Each structure stands twice: as structure tokens, then as C-alpha cells.
């Protein structure tokens, strides 16, 4: 964003204005917020409604230091004469993102935690809350006031470039994980920003694209996760998204930000825009988008509007009151003396534990894993030597060192065979040396794989006990992935095929590790290796965590929070993604409606490669003794069951409750996830009883004709599953009369006609 000389002038004027102190002026924290607002000049009011500009900008004329923490994403204005301190905010979902220049003072490394998709794969909200606690401690101790996280948009399509920052294709998982993360982070007395509100599922043309979504799909899928996270997490702030939704920018949409978020869900904090998001500052203010980030660009426009009275001063005062309430909560306002020394060692351990629990074992023929009698390992694939800890963009973390898969094996006491290591190291060095780019951080991740000759592969077999092949993928905000990126390249497939053939001929095993941020194709290569472990992008301890699983020190208990389709064409939104027209999309009709992910595959009987909720373990669990506290629903129903470890090693199990609801004139998906829980670590022979309570809202679907959540009368089936397909126990209950559970506002209708997918034939 370019700054005009006028804006520079305005910024300068403001610095002078704010440096004049007045002993009698009301003080934030001591006097009423209304009194502080009443004492503000029009300029001060307008400046306070937005950040101080691009975080990297500092005022050249005054020398004023606008960047308080290097690498933070932005800050709010400070007005010393009124006791208003700045609030400093930074990204992001996988850990604090600030600059780390070891040569500079006050520049620090942070811990890279597993990305959100990996965290969701744990199905363990207590663990996610704990990760949030550790992340939030870095926010506090490095002098930040709020973290721009969690991000909980739905994985609508596997090609969305930001899926790694998001949790799941299911709103319950996304909402519960988001709420847990918020609770953990905010337990430090720092803020969060739940983002990107809402329907930010496409990165192509992200600042102009219009997501066209039916009211039902919005309420049940795209808003539902936010509703859960707001109600159960109480974030200090929410970030509106870049996209348009049903015709309007989300940051300019009163119905979204005020009617739904504030009036229906009782959100109490501030709404901030995404960086330079939206187009009309006055509309944003009116909608209730209190804070414009990173700010500065809209000062002139808002000041003019205030002076011309084309914006009601009451609106400005309302938004200011919210911003000042937020500022008052911050550690900086409270004078917290941050140490700059969070316990990075302890946080690395938390990152490692979370990483192991998020890894998903997709295949394990002949109990290949855990490894037995293996000493020497042949490591194939460039990603084996350059681990991808996280995605690119604002979801990235500046960590000190990521443990590669190679390092993980060495730390675990294994030997890595030569000359393979030398071949790959040379390949990686060549990629880095040949590139003219200054920032070489992710070059290797995006580079094509090294083709190996058969002799090169054969040469490894004798000297190694087994082969590991790592497949890597990276992506990030600002663009979506391509179908080519979803598929494995011919070189990658050949590598898997040839290595598998060579090792199998010698009676040795092959394991494929997936160090990826989003869903990829698996069915055209998965038959070749003996085992497949989906490691995800698991933060800086990835290599160690992975070897903990491969060795059997930790029993894998991760399960998929999204479906892995057989082919990209099977994805319900494949035809319309990213939008219309395809090359330069402006509109994105969500034609699949409520049928996102497993809701589609299960209802339309489309087979998947790995279904939602899938994941193997080194042990087995028996589900038994399902009971309901009543056969008839009045206002709640509780289901209880027992899960027993009947295998030979200790393990945890992610237990999933699906509900099949009566089909009426309002069509329903085949089943929907309504609750889930992770057992404790169960020793062999040990059992645990789990209970889940469903209220009427969980039974209900959104009837857009009457804008009401309705639980239809009829028989409901509870399905307790180890995955969405592996249903172990069933029980049913009746709802004797249709229940009108909650009437909501009839808002956010699509601005274009489009045909939504339906199971009812025309
Ligand atoms: C991203 C946000 C991020 C912000 C600040 C934007 O580009 O969409 O998620 O918080 O930048 O870095």
C-alpha cells in the first residue's frame, strides 16, 4: 500500500498533537471510557480507530518509533495525554511470528508448534488448550498484546492455500479446537483474534472474490464453527475476512458483524479488519468493524466523513469504546514487565508432544511399524533432509531450528546410510546456490524432487535395513494450490515404486512419510509401500516426534479431521473451485451447499481414499455398553459407552459421535459429527467410560424458510465410530414433536441465483 504525502503529513500532525499533555485530561483506566472519548479531538478519534500503518513503516521525519516489536503485524495508536497505551498484535496460528535476527538485540526466536490441521488431528481439545497456553506465554513474554489466531475457516476444498492454518472440514471440530486454543492463549492475559470471519475458503483473488452461499450452508457449516468458538472461547477480538460474502465485504456487513456476531452470539470484543481488507471505511465503521488494520490509509476518508457528518459520531464513539475496552485489557496497558525469556525448552517439549499426537497412521501392513530390529536407514526424498515445519505467509514462525527427519533418526539412535545423504545434500545445496532469490527459506519445499536412477536406489539396499521416503508439500496465503500440487509427480511416484520394488525384492520394508500441509492424492501409489505415516507440518520438533512414533515410544492416535478423496474430481466443490470465471474468479457459488467433506461423500455414496475420522493405532479398542439415559428426547439426552484397549500396547482413542436425523421436507446429510472425545492413555486391558450429552440445538438443522433451527420429530440414530465409516455401536431415540429450537435473523441471503446440490431429485 502506497502512502501519499498527505497521509505522511497527517501522521506527523498527529504525533505533535498527541505529545501535548494536559494534566486535567481524563485517563483511561482511571476515568470512565465515555469521558476519555469525550475528551478526544476528531483527529484523535479517527486515528484511534485504526492501526499506525504498515508494521515496517517508521516515521522518517519525526523519528518516532512506530514498530514496538519487530516483525509484529501491527499496533494501535497511543495517546499519552489520555493514558492510552498502544496494543501490539502479531501472527499467527502455529506460534508467535516476530522477527528473529540473532545479530540484533530485542529480536527473538519463537517456538513453531504443529499447524492447525495437525493439531485438529489429535482430536484432543485439552492438548490444544495446552499448546495455546505455551504459545500465549511467548506472546506475553515477548511484549505482545494479542495473537492473530486461531484461524478456523472450513476446509471446503483441498486446494485452498491456507488449509494448513485451518482445522477441519467439519464445523464442530473447527469450533471446539478454536475455542480450546482461545482459552489456552487467553489464560495468559493476552488477547486472540479469531479469524477470518467468515467464509474465507479461497485464496485466489481473495480480496475481491464473492462467496455466494445459501443461508442454510452458512449457518450450518461456515458460521457454525465461529459460533462455537465465540461462545465457548470468548475471544477478545475477531478478524473479518478479505472476501465478499453474498455481495458485501464481510468487514462492511452489518448483518454478519453486528446482527449475528454481536446480537445473536453476544460477542463482546472488537472486530478488526484483515490487513487492508474491505473498501469503504465508513461502511466498515457502520457495520461494527471497529478497528481498521494495519491502518493509516483510511484516516483522511474517515476524518472527512466525521467533519461532513456523513458518519454518525455515535457510531465512532461506540467503536472507540470497544477499542479502549480492549486496550485496557492488554498486558502493555497494565504495565506488565515482559521478560523476553519464555521457556523455549519447555515449549519445544509441548510442541513435540502435540506433534506426535497429531500424526495419522494411514497404512501399516504386516505391522511394519513400530520399527523392530532396524539400525540402518536409507532416507529418500529431499524433504527427509529439509523438514517442512509449517506453511508460508503469516502462518509461518521464525524458529531457531527445525528437527529434520534425518536429525530425528540420528537423535533416536539410528544410522543414516551414505552416499544417499550426500546425494540429497548436494541436490539441496545446488537448489539454494542456483537461486537468485534472497529469501531462500522455502525454496527447497517448492522445488521438484530429485529423480534417482535405478542403480542409485539398488546401491542402498544392501547397506540399509529399510527405506523411508518423504514426500513434501508447502503452500500459503495469497494463492491456492493446483491440481498438479494435489497429485504426486511422476518422479515422486517412480521413486516410491522403484524404492519399494528394490527393497521388497530384498525382503525389506518401505515407509512413506507425508510432510504436507494439505490433502493430496494417495490411491495411485499407496499400494507400493508397507506403511504410510501422515506427519503433517508439525512444527520445529517434527523429526523427533516422527521418530517417537516410528520407534513406538508413542502409539499413534491421530485421526483425519478431513476426508482424503480418491480423485480431486470427487471433491464436491471441484467443479466450481476457485470460482467464476475460472481464470480470474469474481464469484464463487458454493453449489455443494451443506454437502462439504464427509457430509457429501457419505450422503452421495462416493468412496474416499481415507475417510473423515480415520487413523490407525498400534493397538485395538473395543467399544461396548452403549446406553442412553432415555429413549425419548425432551431437552437433552446423554449417551454413555465404554472403550477398552484390547491390544498389546498402551494407546489413546479418538471416539466420534455421529447422528443420523430424520429425513423430512428439509433434507439432511447421511450423518453429522455431534461430539467427540479422546480417551486417556489406556494400558492394555484398561477401559474408560465416556459420556456425551446432546441438546436440542445439536439435533437441529437450519430451516432457512423460517430462519429457525428445527429438530424434526422422528427417530434419531446415534452412531459411535472410530471413524465416520467405522461405526462400532448404534442406539436410537425419538423426538415426539418437532422442536423449534431457536429463531435467528433472516439475514445474509445470496445476492445471485445458483443451483444448490440436493439429494431430492428434481
Ligand atoms: C492475513 C491474516 C494476518 C494478517 C497480518 C493477512 O494477510 O490474511 O491472517 O493475520 O495478514 O499479518
User: pLDDT tens digits for 261-303?
Assistant: 999 999 999 999 999 999 999 999 999 999 999 988 898 999 9
pLDDT tens digit string along 418-443? 999 999 999 999 999 988 777 778 98
Answer yes or no: is pLDDT of 52 > 90. no
Whether ligand 1 lies within 6 angstroms of the CB of 670 is answered as no
Nearest residue (by CA) to ligand 1, atom 11, is 275
- What DSSP string describes 145-213? SEE---B-----STT-TTGGGS--SSHHHHHHHHHHHHHHHHTTT-EEEEEEETT----TTTTT-EEE-
Give the number of the atom of ligand 1 that is nearest the alpha carbon of residue 74.
5
477 lines ligand 1 (CB under 6 A): yes
pLDDT for 307 equals 94
Q: How far is the CA of 505 from the centre of ligand 1 (A)?
A: 50
DSSP strand pairing (531-534 vs 509-515): parallel
Asked if the model's pLDDT at residue 553 lies above 90, the reply is yes
Q: In angstroms, what is the span from residue 477 Cα to ligand 1's centroid? A: 9
Residue 238 alpha carbon to ligand 1 centre in Å: 12
Residue 274 CB–ligand 1 contact under 6 Å? yes
- Region 191-209: mean pLDDT is 98
Residue with CA at minimum distance from ligand 1 atom 4: 275
**pLDDT band at residue 8 under the 50/70/90 scheme:** very low
Is the sign of the CA dihedral 392, 545, 564, 732 positive or negative? negative
- Residue whose CB lies within 8 A of the most ligand 1 atoms, among 1, 54, 477, 480, for a mutation test: 477
Distance 73 CA to ligand 1 centre (A): 8
Give CA separation, 43 vs 6, 15, 50, 74, 205, in Å. 14, 11, 11, 20, 34
| Minimum-distance ligand 1 atom for the alpha carbon of 151 | 9
3-class DSSP assignment, residue 318: helix
CA of 246 to the centre of ligand 1 (A): 22
- Looking at domain 42-329, which CATH architecture does it have? Alpha-Beta Barrel (3.20)
* Site to substitute for ligand 1 among 73, 391, 398, most atoms within 8 A of C-beta: 73
CATH class of 359-553: alpha beta
Q: Is the CB of 442 under 6 A from ligand 1?
A: no
Question: In this structure, are strands 466-472 and 509-515 parallel, antiparallel, or unpaired?
Answer: parallel
- The number of the ligand 1 atom at minimal distance from the alpha carbon of 395 is 9
279-302: string of b/e by CB count within 10 Å (b at 16+)?
eebbbbbbbbbbbbbbbbbbbbeb
Distance CA 197, CA 179 (A): 15
- How many Å lie between the centroid of ligand 1 and the Cα of residue 74? 10
User: Is 146 near ligand 1, meaning CB less than 6 Å away?
Assistant: no
> pTM for the full model?
0.96
Ligand 1 closest atom vs CA 206: 8
The answer for 29, left when phi > 0, alpha when psi is -120 to 50, beta otherwise, is: left
Q: Answer yes or no: are the C-beta atoms of 289 and 278 closer than 8 Å.
A: yes
- Does an H or E element contain 360, and which? strand 360-364
Q: What's the rounded Cα separation, in Å, for the pair 384 and 550?
A: 14
Residue percentage of the chain with pLDDT more than 90: 89
CA of 274 to the centre of ligand 1 (A): 6
3 Cα to the center of ligand 1, angstroms: 19
pLDDT digits (tens, 9 = 90+) for 740-749: 999 999 999 9
Ranges in the chain annotated CATH 3.20.20.300: 42-329
CA-closest residue to ligand 1 atom 7: 275
- Report which DSSP code applies to 103: T
CA–CA distances in Å: residue 173 to residues 188, 536, 737: 24, 17, 29
136 close to 113: Cβ distance less than 8 angstroms: no
Please give the distance, rounded to the nearest whole angstrom, from the Cα atom of residue 5 to the centre of ligand 1.
26
Cβ–ligand 1 distance for 195 under 6 Å, the answer yes
How far apart (Å, rounded) are the C-alpha atoms in residues 671 and 452? Answer: 46
Grade residue 21 by pLDDT with cuts at 50, 70 and 90: very low
Q: Where in the chain is the domain with CATH 3.40.50.1700?
A: 359-553
pLDDT at 296: 84
Q: For the residues 672-681, what does the mean pLDDT come to?
A: 98
At 107, the pLDDT band (50, 70, 90 cuts) reads confident
Confidence at 57, pLDDT banded by 50, 70, 90: low
Q: In CATH terms, is domain 617-743 a member of 2.60.40.10?
A: yes
- Average pLDDT across the chain, whole number: 94
Work out the pLDDT band at 168, boundaries 50, 70, 90.
very high
Closest to 282 in 3D by CA, of 271, 270, 298 = 298
Catalytic annotation on 274? yes
Work out which ligand 1 atom sits closest to the CA atom of 89: 5
C-beta of residue 378 within 8 angstroms of C-beta of residue 417:
yes
Q: Is residue 25 classed exposed, middle or buried when 0-12, 13-18 and 19+ CB atoms within 10 A define those classes?
A: middle
Phi, psi at 593, each rounded to 5° = 55, -125
Atom nearest to 149 CA in ligand 1: 10
Q: Is the CB of 275 under 6 A from ligand 1?
A: yes
pLDDT tens for each residue of 438-475: 777 898 899 999 999 999 999 999 999 999 999 999 99
* Ligand 1 site, residue 396, Cβ cutoff 6 A: no
Sign of the torsion formed by the C-alpha atoms of 558, 563, 566 and 568: negative
* Cα angle value 149/54/318 (rounded, 5°): 65
Catalytic residue among 54, 170, 255, 274: 274
Averaged over 133-139, what is the pLDDT? 98
Ligand 1 geometric centre to CA of 492 (Å): 33
In the chain, CATH 2.60.40.10 covers 617-743
Residue 73 has pLDDT above 80, yes or no: yes
Name the residue of 275, 278, 397 to mutate for ligand 1: max ligand atoms within 8 A of Cβ: 275
Return the residue whose CA atom lies nearest to atom 3 of ligand 1.
Answer: 394
**pLDDT tens string 612-663:** 999 999 999 999 999 999 999 999 999 999 999 999 999 999 999 999 999 9
> For a substitution probing ligand 1, which of 1, 162, 394 has the most ligand atoms within 8 Å of its CB?
394
Ligand 1 nearest-atom number relative to CA 148? 10
Q: Which residue has the higher pLDDT, 60 or 516?
A: 516
Amino acid at each position: 500500500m502506497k502512502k501519499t504525502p498527505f497521509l505522511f503529513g497527517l501522521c506527523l500532525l498527529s504525533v505533535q498533537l498527541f505529545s501535548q499533555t494536559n494534566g486535567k485530561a481524563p485517563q483511561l483506566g482511571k476515568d470512565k471510557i465515555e469521558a476519555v472519548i469525550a475528551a478526544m479531538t476528531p483527529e484523535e478519534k479517527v486515528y484511534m480507530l485504526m492501526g499506525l500503518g504498515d508494521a515496517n513503516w517508521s516515521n522518517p521525519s519525526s523519528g518516532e518509533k512506530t514498530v514496538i516489536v519487530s516483525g509484529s503485524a501491527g499496533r494501535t495508536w497511543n495517546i499519552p495525554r489520555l493514558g492510552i497505551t498502544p496494543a501490539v498484535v502479531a501472527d499467527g496460528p502455529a506460534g508467535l511470528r516476530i522477527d528473529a535476527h540473532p545479530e540484533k538485540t530485542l529480536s527473538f526466536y519463537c517456538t513453531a508448534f504443529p499447524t492447525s490441521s495437525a493439531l485438529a488431528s489429535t482430536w484432543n481439545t485439552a492438548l490444544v488448550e495446552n499448546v495455546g497456553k505455551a504459545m500465549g506465554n511467548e506472546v506475553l513474554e515477548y511484549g505482545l498484546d494479542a495473537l492473530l489466531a486461531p484461524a478456523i475457516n472450513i476446509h471446503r476444498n483441498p486446494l485452498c492455500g491456507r488449509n494448513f492454518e485451518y482445522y477441519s472440514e467439519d464445523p464442530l471440530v473447527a469450533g471446539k479446537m478454536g475455542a480450546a486454543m482461545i482459552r489456552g492463549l487467553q489464560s495468559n492475559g493476552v488477547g486472540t483474534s479469531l479469524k477470518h470471519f467468515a467464509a474465507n475458503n479461497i485464496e485466489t483473488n481473495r480480496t475481491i472474490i464473492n462467496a455466494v452461499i445459501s443461508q442454510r450452508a452458512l449457518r450450518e457449516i461456515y458460521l457454525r464453527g465461529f459460533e462455537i468458538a465465540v461462545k465457548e472461547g470468548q475471544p477478545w477480538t475477531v478478524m473479518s475476512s478479505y472476501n465478499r460474502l453474498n455481495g458485501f465485504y464481510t468487514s462492511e456487513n452489518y448483518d454478519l458483524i453486528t446482527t449475528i456476531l454481536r446480537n445473536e452470539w453476544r460477542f463482546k470484543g472488537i472486530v478488526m479488519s484483515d490487513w487492508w481488507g474491505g473498501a469503504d471505511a465508513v461502511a466498515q465503521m457502520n457495520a461494527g468493524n471497529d478497528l481498521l488494520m494495519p491502518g493509516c490509509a483510511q484516516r483522511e476518508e474517515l476524518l472527512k466523513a466525521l467533519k461532513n457528518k456523513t458518519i454518525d459520531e455515535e457510531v465512532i464513539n461506540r467503536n472507540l469504546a470497544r477499542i479502549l475496552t480492549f486496550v485496557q485489557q492488554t498486558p502493555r496497558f497494565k504495565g506488565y514487565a515482559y521478560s523476553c525469556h519464555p521457556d523455549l525448552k519447555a515449549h519445544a517439549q509441548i510442541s513435540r508432544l502435540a506433534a506426535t499426537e497429531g500424526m495419522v497412521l494411514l497404512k501399516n501392513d504386516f505391522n511394519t511399524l513400530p520399527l523392530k530390529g532396524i539400525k540402518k536407514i536409507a532416507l529418500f526424498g529431499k524433504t527427509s533432509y529439509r523438514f517442512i515445519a509449517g506453511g508460508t505467509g503469516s502462518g509461518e514462525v521464525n524458529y531457531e531450528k527445525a528437527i529434520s527427519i534425518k536429525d530425528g533418526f540420528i537423535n533416536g539412535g539410528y544410522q543414516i546410510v551414505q552416499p544417499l545423504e550426500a546425494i540429497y545434500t548436494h541436490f539441496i545445496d545446488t537448489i539454494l546456490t542456483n537461486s537468485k532469490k534472497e529469501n531462500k527459506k522455502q525454496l527447497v519445499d517448492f522445488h521438484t524432487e530429485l529423480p534417482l536412477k535405478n542403480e542409485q536406489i539398488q546401491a542402498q539396499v544392501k547397506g540399509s535395513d529399510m527405506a523411508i521416503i518423504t514426500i513434501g508439500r508447502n503452500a500459503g496465503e495469497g494463492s491456492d494450490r493446483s491440481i498438479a500440487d494435489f497429485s504426486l509427480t511422476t518422479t515422486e511416484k517412480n521413486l516410491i515404486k522403484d524404492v519399494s520394488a528394490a527393497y521388497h525384492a530384498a525382503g525389506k520394508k518401505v515407509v512413506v512419510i507425508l510432510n504436507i500441509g494439505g490433502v493430496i492424492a494417495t490411491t495411485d501409489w499407496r499400494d507400493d509401500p508397507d506403511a504410510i505415516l501422515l506427519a503433517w507440518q508439525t512444527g520445529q520438533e517434527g523429526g523427533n516426534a516422527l521418530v517417537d512414533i516410528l520407534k513406538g515410544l508413542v502409539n499413534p492416535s491421530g485421526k483425519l479431521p478431513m476426508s482424503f478423496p480418491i480423485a480431486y474430481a470427487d471433491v464436491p466443490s471441484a467443479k466450481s473451485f476457485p470460482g467464476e470465471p475460472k481464470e480470474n474468479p469474481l464469484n464463487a457459488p458454493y453449489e455443494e451447499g451443506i454437502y462439504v467433506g464427509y457430509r457429501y461423500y457419505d450422503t452421495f455414496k462416493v468412496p474416499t481414499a481415507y475417510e473423515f475420522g480415520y487413523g490407525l493405532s498400534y493397538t485395538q479398542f473395543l467399544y461396548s455398553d452403549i446406553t442412553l439415559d432415555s429413549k425419548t428426547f425432551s431437552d437433552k439426552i446423554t449417551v454413555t459407552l465404554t472403550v477398552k484397549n484390547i491390544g498389546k500396547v498402551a494407546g489413546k482413542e479418538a471416539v466420534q459421535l455421529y447422528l443420523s436425523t430424520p429425513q423430512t421436507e428439509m433434507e439432511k446429510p447421511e450423518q453429522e459429527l455431534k461430539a467427540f472425545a479422546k480417551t486417556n492413555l489406556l494400558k492394555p486391558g484398561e477401559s474408560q467410560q465416556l459420556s456425551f450429552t446432546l441438546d436440542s440445538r445439536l439435533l437441529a438443522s437450519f430451516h432457512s424458510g423460517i430462519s429457525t433451527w428445527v429438530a424434526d420429530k422422528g427417530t434419531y440414530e446415534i452412531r459411535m465410530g472410530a471413524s465416520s465409516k467405522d461405526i462400532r455401536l448404534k442406539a436410537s431415540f425419538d423426538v415426539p414433536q418437532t422442536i423449534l429450537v431457536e429463531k435467528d435473523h433472516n439475514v445474509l441471503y445470496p445476492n445471485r441465483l445458483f443451483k444448490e446440490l440436493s439429494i431430492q431429485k428434481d
